[in-house]
């Protein structure tokens, strides 16, 4: 069963299989809309429990080749995903994993390899009884790069059924859910991001037992985030720091010493490695906040992060942080004071491929509901699903000195909230 809806020039599609409505005679080997991505590995549909199970044979059948299967259809928009019930097992003597590769489908002309593509895996290390979710890039037999990994979990590889859901937002933010629990999120670099004719999943089984899948759904989805347009924001306060060198004042609360205005920018002037922050009360209590700023000025962006802060409290010891450094932009939830050297918290996502950031670069950090995002020159370059428990109404900016290097300055800062 499938659907296709077209409204306002955009099309949305979805498909279902491996459920009671699509029960059909056994297929060994499997037939379209499924097709094997390794013609030597057995993949079939087997009727069981009133549905068809998609079964991929264990890795011993093609020892030196990965083996799997792909569904024919591909999503049409940059917000898409899939969900299915999975049942896998494997020994503890060898590395075991079940992979879900973000790739073209088998129907794309010329598609033949899963190499150099992002692969979400249920992973078991040698001699381990527990599992993790890893995001890797497969390079060849026993050769891969690990992009992200979760903590260890039990029960993901013990011949029991569970539901996995994979969502890809803006073709970059990959989220993996166990039922409705978020286990992993990762922002794909541009070199690995999907796009038109590359919005599908290919499945492979590298365990010592056959894999089973049921109740398959794939297609586009309505975004569960809401990125506000420029006209939907209203200014609360703005500061261009164009006044004599010295203390920032002007209603800011400064956390930590060793930062002042220099040549029209707020910048680090201290010689000790530490953070210095300026925050102020936005009056906003619903968490829909934005900080627009110009990065640089007195000090160009460097390899040390200057940051923008949202949803913090009056003491600046919890909130959301977007950090900007040459080579990387990061979204973090912090749980310790901004006016100290070290910072505790959780990194949600980062972009590892930003290169050198320009001086006087226009950036913004925004939050709305469960999502926070970063804009560079008006373009969203990073987004994360964040904790809604972070609801402080203060916002501001941070500079840092680390390893004897100053972060970039802030040439201006503008605090905003959703327009009525």
Is the residue at 267 inside a domain? yes
Q: Do both 264 and 183 map to the same domain?
A: no
Tokens of 234: 């209203």
Tokens of 310: 């949202």
Is the residue at 22 inside a domain? yes
Quote the domain boundaries for residue 195: 2-220
Is the residue at 225 inside a domain? no
Q: 203: domain CATH number? A: 2.60.120.560
pLDDT in tens, 46-62: 999 999 999 999 999 88
Is the CA virtual torsion 92, 52, 104, 355 positive or negative? negative
Q: Do both 109 and 212 map to the same domain?
A: yes
Tokens of 260: 């002042």
Q: Do both 211 and 236 map to the same domain?
A: no
Domain boundary among 220, 254, 280: 220
* pLDDT for position 1: 45
List, in sequence order, every residue forming a beta bridge with 404; answer none if it has no partner. Answer: none
Alpha-carbon distances, residue 104 vs 84, 114, 131, 218, 260 (angstroms): 19, 9, 27, 13, 52
Tokens of 372: 């926070």
Tokens of 130: 């527990």
Percent of the chain scored above 90 by pLDDT? 85
Number of domains in the chain: 2
Q: What is the mean pLDDT of residues 53-77?
A: 89
Residue 135 has pLDDT above 90, yes or no: yes
Domain boundary among 189, 220, 251: 220
Of these ranges, 130-144, 290-304, 381-395, the one predicted with the greatest mean pLDDT is: 290-304
pLDDT in tens, 258-290: 999 999 999 999 999 999 999 999 999 999 999
Q: Do both 246 and 164 map to the same domain?
A: no
pLDDT in tens, 175-218: 999 999 999 999 999 999 999 999 999 999 999 999 999 999 99
Is the residue at 148 inside a domain? yes
Q: Do both 320 and 397 map to the same domain?
A: yes
Q: Do both 325 and 406 map to the same domain?
A: yes
pLDDT in tens, 157-174: 999 999 999 999 999 999
* Rounded Cα distance, 125 and 61, in Å: 21
Is the residue at 182 inside a domain? yes
Is the residue at 15 inside a domain? yes
Q: Do both 259 and 172 map to the same domain?
A: no
Least confident window among 12-16, 30-34, 100-104: 12-16
Residue 346 has pLDDT above 90, yes or no: yes
| N- to C-terminal Cα separation, the chain | 42
Residue 168 CA, distance from chain mean position: 8
Residue 378 has pLDDT above 70, yes or no: yes
Domain boundary among 160, 186, 220: 220
List, in sequence order, every residue forming a beta bridge with 317; answer none if it has no partner. Answer: none
The answer to whether 53 and 46 have CB atoms below 8 angstroms apart is: yes
Q: Do both 314 and 369 map to the same domain?
A: yes
For the chain, what is the mean pLDDT?
Answer: 93
Concatenate the DSSP letters of all residues of 386-397 into one string. --TT----EEEE
Q: Do both 274 and 334 map to the same domain?
A: yes
Q: Do both 38 and 177 map to the same domain?
A: yes
Q: Do both 281 and 199 map to the same domain?
A: no
CA dihedral 83, 89, 92, 97 (to 10 degrees): -30
pLDDT band per the 50, 70, 90 thresholds, residue 3: very low
pLDDT band per the 50, 70, 90 thresholds, residue 64: confident
Residue count (the chain):
420
Q: Do both 190 and 266 map to the same domain?
A: no
pLDDT band per the 50, 70, 90 thresholds, residue 143: confident
* pLDDT for position 2: 53
Alpha helices in 226-351 (DSSP H): none
* pLDDT for position 65: 77
């Amino acid at each position: 069963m499938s659907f296709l809806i077209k409204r306002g020039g955009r099309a949305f599609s979805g498909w279902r299989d491996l459920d009671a409505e699509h029960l059909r005679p056994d297929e060994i080997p499997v037939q379209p809309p499924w097709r094997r991505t390794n013609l030597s590995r057995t993949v079939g549909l087997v009727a069981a429990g009133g549905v068809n199970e998609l079964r991929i044979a264990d890795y011993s059948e093609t020892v030196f080749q990965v083996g799997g299967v792909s569904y024919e259809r591909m999503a049409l928009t940059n917000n898409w995903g899939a969900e299915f019930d999975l049942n896998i097992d494997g020994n503890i003597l060898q590395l075991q994993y079940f992979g879900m590769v973000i790739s073209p489908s088998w129907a794309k002309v010329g598609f033949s390899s899963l190499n150099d593509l992002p692969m979400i895996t249920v992973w078991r290390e040698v001699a381990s009884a527990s599992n993790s979710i890893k995001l890797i890039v497969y390079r060849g037999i026993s050769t891969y790069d690990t992009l992200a990994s979760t903590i260890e979990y039990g029960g993901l590889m013990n011949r029991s059924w569970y539901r996995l859901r994979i969502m890809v937002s803006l073709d970059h933010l990959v989220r993996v859910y166990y039922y409705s629990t978020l286990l992993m999120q990762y922002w794909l670099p541009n070199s690995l991001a999907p796009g038109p004719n590359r919005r599908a999943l290919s499945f492979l089984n590298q365990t010592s037992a056959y894999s089973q899948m049921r109740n398959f759904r794939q297609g586009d989805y309505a975004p569960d985030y809401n990125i506000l347009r420029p006209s939907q924001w209203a200014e609360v306060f703005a500061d261009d720091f164009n006044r004599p060198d010295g203390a920032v004042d002007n209603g800011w609360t400064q956390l930590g010493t060793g930062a002042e205005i220099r040549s029209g920018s707020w910048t680090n002037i201290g010689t000790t490695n530490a953070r210095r922050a300026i925050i102020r009360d936005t009056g906003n209590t619903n968490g829909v906040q934005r900080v627009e700023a110009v990065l640089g000025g007195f000090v160009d962006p460097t390899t040390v992060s200057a940051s923008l802060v949202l949803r913090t409290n009056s003491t600046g010891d919890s909130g959301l942080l977007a950090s900007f450094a040459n080579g990387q932009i990061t979204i973090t939830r912090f749980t310790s004071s901004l006016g100290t050297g070290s910072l505790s918290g959780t990194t949600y996502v980062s972009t590892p491929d930003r290169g050198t950031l320009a001086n006087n670069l226009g950036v913004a950090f925004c939050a709305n509901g469960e999502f926070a995002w970063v804009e560079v020159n008006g373009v969203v370059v990073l987004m994360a699903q964040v904790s809604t428990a972070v609801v402080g109404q203060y916002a501001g900016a941070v500079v840092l000195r680390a390893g004897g290097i100053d972060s970039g300055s802030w040439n201006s800062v503008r605090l905003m909230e959703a327009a009525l």
